[in-house]
Every structure is written in C-alpha cells, then in structure tokens.
Amino acid sequence: MNNKKEVRSYIADISGVRKHKASFEKNGYEHEVWVNLYEYIGYRVKMLQKTKKISNKVLTEKAGFSNQTIVSRIKSGKHSFQIDTIYKLCIGLDCKSSDILPF
C-alpha cells in the first residue's frame, strides 16, 4: 500500500474573500481544508521562522520592515499585503516564494 499523500491546492474567491483550499488523501479518505489566504501565508511564515530559528526582531530587520508589529500581524493572518511584502519575507527568511505561497 502506498501511503504517499498528494496535496492539491486551489485558490478561490468565496463571498468576496480569498480562500485557499488544500485537498489531500489520508487513510483512504479525501480531506479538504479551506482557510483565508492571509492565514495560510501567516502559518507558513510561522513554520519557516520556527524551523530556521529566526526571531521576530531578526526577521523584521532582515526583511526591512519598519517594526515588528507588521511581522506579528502577518503571522496572525490579520495583515493584508502586496507582492512586495512576500518578497521581503522571502529575503528575511532566506526562502523561495513557493515556500510561503500555496502555488
């Protein structure tokens, strides 16, 4: 039996809110999870930050943000941002955009 889990990602506009859908198979059952796209990106930033052991202060400095509040709001999914913010996060976390974005 092959236990390889394939994850498929989708982005949709549901009731005017951007959502990310991750669909995967586990134990023979299909699962779907819909989350706000900003929450998904915030979760990925948190996980990368934790894996690389980078503090909010260091990430703020490396990414060139004006204060740590921006990083905290991004990680909580409460900060809407543009592509330049993703670029800065990638520089600060020393990662590719595909490590943060679901596509």
**Burial (CB count within 10 angstroms: exposed 0-12, middle 13-18, buried 19+), residue 20:** buried
Q: Could you tell me the residue ranges of all domains in the chain? A: 37-99
* Amino acid 62: pLDDT: 96
* Amino acid 16: pLDDT: 62
**Considering Cα of 42, then 44, then 47, then 50, what sign does the dihedral take?**
negative
Series of mean pLDDT values for 10-residue runs along the chain (103 residues): 50 63 71 76 91 95 94 88 92 94 78
Q: Check: CATH 1.10.260.40 for 37-99?
A: yes
Distance CA 96, CA 2 (A): 29
* Amino acid 74: pLDDT: 92
Enumerate the H helices of the chain as residue ranges.
Answer: 37-52, 56-63, 68-76, 83-93
Could you count the other beta carbons within 10 Å of the beta carbon of residue 100? 20
